[in-house]
């Protein structure tokens, strides 16, 4: 990891919390998938793949400042990352077409 020694120390405290947040969101999606029909479960599996890709991208970052600046406060960042992904938007649009507008 790059940064000053104190930045690196701080980032190393933040990184496990970030990973745990990805775990939390993943577990929530997996729980939902267990109660879905096949089509919805396929969508949720695709969302989980996006989530894991985002996790890999985030955790691969080696700049301490990135974690300090962007991940110190975990107010829904993982959910926003997924919601802003064009693939998620396509999944959501496909679902609206398939089952109608969400209630």
User: What would the DSSP string read from start to end of 22-54?
Assistant: HHHHHHHHHHHHTTS-HHHHHHHHHHHHHHHHH
pLDDT at 31 over 70: yes
* pTM (2 d.p.): 0.89
Report the greatest alpha carbon distance in the chain. Answer: 53
Per-residue pLDDT of 71-102, as tens digits, reads: 999 989 999 999 999 999 999 999 888 777 55
């Amino acid at each position: 990891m790059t940064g000053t020694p104190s930045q690196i120390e701080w980032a190393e405290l933040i990184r496990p919390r970030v990973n745990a947040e990805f775990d939390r969101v993943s577990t929530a999606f997996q729980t939902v998938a267990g109660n879905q029909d096949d089509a919805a479960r396929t969508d949720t599996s695709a969302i989980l793949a996006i989530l894991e890709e985002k996790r890999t991208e985030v955790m691969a970052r080696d700049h301490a400042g990135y974690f300090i600046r962007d991940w110190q406060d975990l107010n829904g960042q993982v959910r926003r990352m997924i919601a802003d992904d064009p693939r998620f938007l396509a999944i959501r649009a496909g679902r609206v077409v398939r089952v109608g507008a969400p209630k």
